[in-house]
Amino acid sequence: MDFILLDYTALRVIWWLLLGVLLIGFAVMDGFDLGVGTLLPFVAHTDEERRLVINTVGPVWEGNQVWLVLGGGAIFAAWPPLYSVSFSGFYLAMFVILFALILRPVGFKYRSKLESTRWRATWDACLFIGGFVPALIMGVAVGNVLLGVPFHIDDTQRIFYTGHFFGLLRPFALLAGLLSVAMLVAHGAAMLVIKTDGPVARRAARIGSVAAIASFVLFVLGGFWLSFGLPGYAIGSTVVSDGPSNPLLKTVTVTAAGGWLANYQATPVLWLAPIVGLVGALLAAAWLRAQRGGLAFIASGASIAGIILSVGFAIFPFLLPSISQPGSSLTAWDASSSHLTLWIMLICTVIFLPIILAYTTWVYRVLKGKVTVAEMGSNPNAY
């Protein structure tokens, strides 16, 4: 069609990049909320301190979850087969994440309704679960993408998932889950240093610096595992980047250990992503130790972006490899929506994403400054 200015290949690459941007946006923006929830039992020892921690993210956590909605919507609209496999095959895992996320708003709203110590401790535990569990399982999901997922597609394009929930908890996937928790805890700690003073900020800085070092170590371990112990996947037939969305029109081979590094070997500039991930983690640890919250937040955010990009660059053009039938693996070239759908979605994104960014910037500008006990006492809307 004449009004479509970008070809199918370009649109598929753009939407692959946009999916990465949305995942990074979620991990950076909602990630510190999850990190703060995970830190709650460890940095706040009194009820007053716990209220202080909760109110650092209380006004913004709902807005930050926009990135989760955008990411899920992008997968649904731009990559329907990927949505089908991940949201149905991982149904129990998704349910656990959803249940944990539901605990967050309930915990925020109900915690201070009663003065009872047991009541408040129960909701504090719910807020911890609402931070820790999604961070862990989302990391486990990314680890399973690198390992490959048991699914296949029949001749009628029906997708069959043949795995189960506990099959997702493989050692490499659990390492990825721990990495996810560590990097989000460091990110949440940086936000607490920005928004609080006194004992809470000092404890957050100490724990966050340890978490940042842990994320560095776990990322390095994952890299070695990927290089020497984990097979990759490669397209064995001619690559048709502008062909129909039918994953069965290609062949896929399982490579030897280190196969996921082929893109890095072919394009050395991609090594900048893991370097940013590692250097960002070290800088975050150092600046947290120095209680430089703003710099630590930037560094931890850069580390998160570098780690996510490292995975994306490694697996491209794969979106979700199949361990049971490699030929059914989903790639950016054969698992997208139509040319017209991707084009219309791109126009909508160009219009609305800047609005979301502008509004988010305005909100954080209005809410800048530290949360204090005096402010909570004078604010009837405080949690």
- The pLDDT assigned to 3 comes to 47
C-alpha distances out from residue 331 to 17, 86, 131, 240, 245, Å: 13, 14, 31, 11, 9
Residue 202: which region, alpha, beta or left (left: phi > 0; alpha: psi -120 to 50)? alpha
Instruction: For 85-119, write each residue's pLDDT tens digit.
Output: 888 778 888 899 999 999 998 998 888 888 888 99
- The pLDDT assigned to 156 comes to 86
Cα dihedral 186, 16, 72, 99 sign? negative
User: How many other β-carbons are positioned within 10 Å of the β-carbon of residue 332?
Assistant: 22
Strand partners, 233: 254
- The pLDDT assigned to 12 comes to 96
| Tens place of pLDDT per residue across the chain (383 aa) | 444 578 999 999 999 999 999 999 999 999 999 999 999 999 999 989 999 999 899 888 888 888 888 888 889 999 999 998 888 778 888 899 999 999 998 998 888 888 888 999 999 999 999 999 999 999 999 999 999 999 999 888 888 888 888 888 999 999 999 999 999 999 999 999 999 999 999 999 999 999 999 999 999 999 999 999 899 999 999 889 998 899 999 999 999 888 999 999 999 999 999 999 999 999 999 999 999 999 999 999 999 999 999 999 999 999 999 999 999 999 999 999 999 999 999 999 999 999 989 998 998 888 888 887 777 766 766 67
User: How many other β-carbons are positioned within 10 Å of the β-carbon of residue 174?
Assistant: 15
Instruction: For 34-70, write each residue's pLDDT tens digit.
Output: 999 999 999 999 989 999 999 899 888 888 888 888 8
Q: Considering the entire predicted model, what is its pTM? A: 0.93
CB 152 within 8 A of CB 328: yes
CB 132 within 8 A of CB 211: no
Q: Is 255 helix (H, G, I), strand (E, B) or coil?
A: strand
Query: In which element (H, E) is residue 207 found?
Result: helix 198-228
The string of DSSP codes covering 276-296 is HHHHHHHHHHHHHHTT-HHHH
- The pLDDT assigned to 4 comes to 54
